Amino acid sequence: MKTPEIVLDDATGAPVKITVLRPSNFHAHFRRDALMRAVTPLQLRGYKYVLAMPNTGPIRAIAEAHTYYDELMRIADEEGSDKLSGILMTLYHTADITPAVIEQIAKQKIVRAVKHYPTHRPGQEGTTGSGFGRPLEEAGEMLRAMEETGVPLLGHFESVEDNDGRMLPHSEREGYFVDNYLWGLRDKYPKLRICFEHCSTRKGVEFVKADSSGRTVCTITPQHLWFTADDFGRYSWRNHLRCMPYVKTEDDREAVTDLATSGDMRAIAGDDTAPHLSAAKDKPFEQAACGCYLPHAIALYVAKFIKRGATNPQDAMNSYEHFACLNGPRFWGLPVPADDDTVTIRYETRRDIPEPTPVPEDNDFVIPLGWTAGSDKLKIGYALD
């Protein structure tokens, strides 16, 4: 089959059935224990590859990552995720990651990268699981080993404080890190492969686009294509939209959306699905746990690409295939989907937002982004078949 294959509605001309190559997700959080068992089948559904970045109980050693991987694969096997080609893993960047660890990473196939989180003092808020790491300025030996081996650095690139120790507002953190650290890092380690995770600012986009070597890429989440900080005041389910980083302004959203939908090989789908029990979300907004639960990420991306390219759905879905199905495997040196390895997305308005996922052992639920029992439920208009 030649993909993307699009069936249009006779009356409206809108796409009602879209078949594309099997997408991948290069940024996912699976948690642990009961929560992991509850969300994993839904977070693997439809995908070819998924990159897992454990950050609740940071994983700092390869053996630990292999144990976590085995747990995920056991769930995947039980749930019959037979279309899944692979789960990749990252180690959390701490002082434990020596050049010897980087060399070990380069020699095996499960752990593929090191993920850097914002560093800060205990008690300061960065994001879920942040504050355990080592500043990149102190990681010279590790970074040189990464240049030599090609093991990528993945980054949640935000500064919690400025250089004078003043707390930065969330809205300035990514831009500050780009201006004060990232350009310097690129200059100092020109061969370092960098993935700018959940890029959410025009400054971040400009940093990624400045490198044409293929060594700098970014992941972009669906919530960052759909929402800005202004939307926090707009929805009853705002706490489920609270994630770090978030898109600050319409101009930032425009820059991120332009890059994602351009088909540029440096933009990769990575949804940052980050499930939390509803008890951790059901708090005053500023205290609600950071992260959006995205079992419906494929539909969220597709709907945005279709909306953006409304005059030419074929072009829009071509760009989607690059972004979600091809760019990631190419950056990671993995086989791209075969022509007949596809998924189908349908026009759907009643089941487009999945119901909350029960976590029976915790007597709680995880609520997907945009779901509410109220009247302002998000409308995506598409769902994975």
The residues assigned a catalytic role are: 272
Tell me how many residues contact Zn ion (CB under 5 A): 1
Amino acid at 39: V
Peptide bond into 135 cis (omega under 30): no
Alpha helices in the chain (DSSP H): 33-44, 62-78, 99-107, 140-149, 170-177, 183-188, 202-209, 222-226, 250-261, 278-281, 297-308, 313-320, 327-331
Check if the beta carbon of residue 88 is closer than 8 Å to that of residue 49: yes
Query: Within 10 A of 12 (CB to CB), how many other CB atoms are there?
Result: 9
Nearer to Zn ion, 200 or 342 (CB): 200
Binding to Zn ion (CB under 5 A) within 298-357 occurs at none
Q: Minimum distance between the CB of residue 77 and Zn ion, rounded to whole angstroms?
A: 25
Distance (Å) of CA 7 to CA 18, 304, 346: 6, 17, 9
| Listed ranges 101-109, 238-246, 258-266, 271-279: which one lies at the site for Zn ion (CB under 5 A) | 271-279
CB-nearer residue toward Zn ion: 46 or 54: 54
Of the two residues 272 and 321, which places its CB atom closer to Zn ion in the complex?
272
CA separation, residue 230 to residues 35, 123, 325 (Å): 30, 27, 31
* Dihedral sign of CA atoms 232, 220, 377, 374 in order: negative
Nearest distance, CB of residue 208 and Zn ion, angstroms: 17
Nearer to Zn ion among residue 52 and residue 84 (C-beta): 52
Nearest to 277 by CA among 353, 377, 221, 356: 356
Does 174 interact with Zn ion (rule: CB under 5 A)?
no
Residue 280 sits at φ, ψ, to 5 deg, of -80, -15
Question: Applying CB under 5 A, which part among 216-224, 235-243, 270-278, 320-328 lies near Zn ion?
Answer: 270-278
Among the residue ranges 14-22, 139-147, 268-276, 278-286, the one whose residues contact Zn ion (CB under 5 A): 268-276
The answer to whether residue 271 forms part of the interface with Zn ion (CB under 5 A) is: no
DSSP letter string, 157-204? ---SB-TTSPBPPHHHHHHHHIIIIIHHHHHH-TT--EEETT--SHHH
The least CB distance from residue 13 to Zn ion, in Å, is 38
Instruction: Please check whether residue 71 is in contact with residue 36, taking contact to mean a CB–CB distance below 8 angstroms.
Output: yes
- Minimum CB separation from Zn ion for residue 271, in Å? 9
Among 78-86, 231-239, 267-275, 324-332, which window interacts with Zn ion (CB under 5 A)?
Answer: 267-275
Q: How far apart are CA 89 and CA 133, in angstroms?
A: 17
**Residue 143 or 154: which CB sits closer to Zn ion?**
154
Least spacing, CB of residue 290 vs Zn ion, in Å: 9
Going 51 to 334 to 263 to 345, the CA torsion angle's sign is negative
Residue with Cβ nearer Zn ion (54 or 263): 54
Q: Under rule CB under 5 A, which residues in 11-40 are in contact with Zn ion?
A: none
The smaller minimum CB distance to Zn ion, of residues 119 and 319, is found at 119
The answer to the question of residue 272 lying near Zn ion (CB under 5 A) is yes
For the CB of residue 284, give the shortest distance to Zn ion in the complex, in Å: 23
Residue nearest to Zn ion (CB): 272
Shortest Cβ 299–Zn ion spacing (Å): 20
> Interacting stretch for Zn ion, rule CB under 5 A, among 12-20, 70-78, 222-230, 269-277?
269-277
Applying CB under 5 A, which residues contact Zn ion? 272
